[in-house]
Amino acid sequence: MQDGSVNDLLQASKIQDWDPSAMLNNLSFLGQKIHQLQDLVYLIIGRKGQVLGRPDELLVQQQQLVTADLTSIIVQLISTAGSLLPSVKQTLSAATTSLGQCGEFGGVVFPSSAQGLNDGVQPQNAGGSKVSEPPNSVDITSNNGNEQSNHIIEEHELKDEEDAEEGENLLPGTYEILQLEKEEILAPHTHFCTICGKGFKRDANLRMHMRGHGDEYKTPGALAKPTKESSSEPTIIKRYSCPYAGCKRNKDHKKFQPLKTILCVKNHYKRTHCDKSYICSRCNTKKFSVIADLKTHEKHCGKDKWLCSCGTTFSRKDKLFGHITLFQGHTPAIPSDEIKAAPAGTSDGATNKVGSVNFNLSYVSSESEVQSSSMDIKGGIDDAVGYFSPLSFDTCNFGGFHEFPRPPFDDSESSFAFLLSRSCNYSQKSGEE
């Protein structure tokens, strides 16, 4: 381990602004800790023999103490070594960029269009030099003034961007960094005809277009996907940098994370550094800068209907049910539009029925001297008077029905009067079973 870091040390020492004393400090701390660790392990070996011979409770306790000690030392060791690592890495990357001209790492070729060659490399060296300070201070001593405002954007970007390659650990310098200009990124077309200048979104479309310019573009070779030919050669991995200064995706950023494809660059740039001009027409709240994002959102907009009693919404029912399973006492909330719908649906039926039945009841209960309750019901009937009209036979005159002897159901009141004649009996006889 020490050998490796010494190698790094040797390489890195060529850089002027690098501070070797801090590194040495760290390394000597590591060395100390390793010695401590060694002592402890010796101790444990000695103890183990005793324990095996005479298992004593006290000894067991001591052993536990030693183990705890050991664990804490290991933790310290790892954390120090870990904190050393980024500085080494950074210095390494700084070294490679500066060594690029010497031809040691042939892969570093900046696109000719990128003017960042001039204003990109120099500050990077400056940034890299500062990294050699103790690692915990790096974040605080950030170089650019606009960095702080960018922090917010970066956090948002990490959440938002699906193509954030966190798993990828390409060593700096093993790939070619390309940086497109803002205009290029925002241009609707990326492939231009060299003859007539017409722009296309896709290279395939350009190739199709080129057929019109002569027979030499009609050969299978000219029409084939250009990348396929080059696949046989050892390709240089291309990665992209965002032109926005201070952005984490910008190659000058000290924690630079490159973007994988041009599409990633475009989406990233639009999402993080452009206005969100597309507004969802359904919810009128969500804004997007990439049309595809809007379309994805619109597919699900308004479908967040799975609501828990705690207020959390879910786009999927199974997610809601999983949530309810987990949390004691949470229940699914019934959508509020149903609340409005349900009474509306029943208001014709149920409340009217209330009226009619109440009337019935009021009759019986008033007979049984429950005056106050009958009063209550009367109030209920008043509301439902309109609905009673179809029942009152006076209002509907059917031809030929006038001469009928008035039957007992003539109107509602006499209908119940008819009921009265036996209602008293029924209350005792068949009112119950």
Residue closer to another protein, measured from CB, 98 or 365: 365
Question: What DSSP designation does 241 have?
Answer: E
CB of 231 to another protein, least distance (A): 46
Residue closer to another protein, measured from CB, 237 or 310: 310
Distance CA 145, CA 427 (A): 91
Is 111 one of the binding residues for another protein (CB under 8 A)?
no
* Nearest CA among 323, 384, 327 for reference residue 350: 384
CB of 385 to another protein, least distance (A): 14
CB of 308 to another protein, least distance (A): 10
Residue closer to another protein, measured from CB, 143 or 412: 412
CB of 407 to another protein, least distance (A): 6
Residues paired with residue 288 on neighbouring β-strands, in sequence order: 278
Distance CA 298, CA 275 (A): 19
CB of 388 to another protein, least distance (A): 9
Is 262 one of the binding residues for another protein (CB under 8 A)?
no
Give SS3 for 108: coil
Binding mask 288-327 for another protein (x = CB under 8 A): -----------------------------xx--x--xx--
Residue closer to another protein, measured from CB, 313 or 427: 427
Strands (E), 251-305: 278-279, 287-288
Q: Which of 204, 310, 350, 385 is close enough to bind another protein by CB under 8 A?
A: 350
Q: Which segment (20-28, 58-66, 121-129, 358-366) binds another protein by CB under 8 A?
A: 358-366
Give the DSSP per-residue string, 13-59: TTSTT--HHHHHHHHHHHHHHHHHHHHHHHHHHHHHHHHHHS--HHH
CB of 378 to another protein, least distance (A): 12
Give SS3 for 331: coil
Contact 250, 244 (CB under 8 A): yes
* Number of residues forming the site for another protein (CB under 8 A): 64
Kindly report the number of other CB atoms within 10 A of residue 390's CB atom.
10
Contact 301, 280 (CB under 8 A): yes
Q: Are strands 287-288 and 278-279 parallel, antiparallel or unpaired?
A: antiparallel
Residue closer to another protein, measured from CB, 79 or 389: 389
| Joined tokens for residue 138 | 């790096």
Tell which positions 384-403 bind another protein, by CB under 8 A: 387, 390-391, 393, 396, 398-401
Residues 6+ apart with CB under 8 A from 141: 130, 133
Is 406 one of the binding residues for another protein (CB under 8 A)?
no
* Nearest CA among 243, 234, 204 for reference residue 222: 204
Tell which positions 329-348 bind another protein, by CB under 8 A: 329-332, 334, 338-339, 342, 346, 348
Q: Which residues bind another protein (CB under 8 A)?
A: 317-318, 321, 324-325, 329-332, 334, 338-339, 342, 346, 348-358, 360-361, 363-365, 368-370, 372-373, 376-377, 380, 387, 390-391, 393, 396, 398-401, 404, 407-409, 415, 418-419, 422-423, 426-433
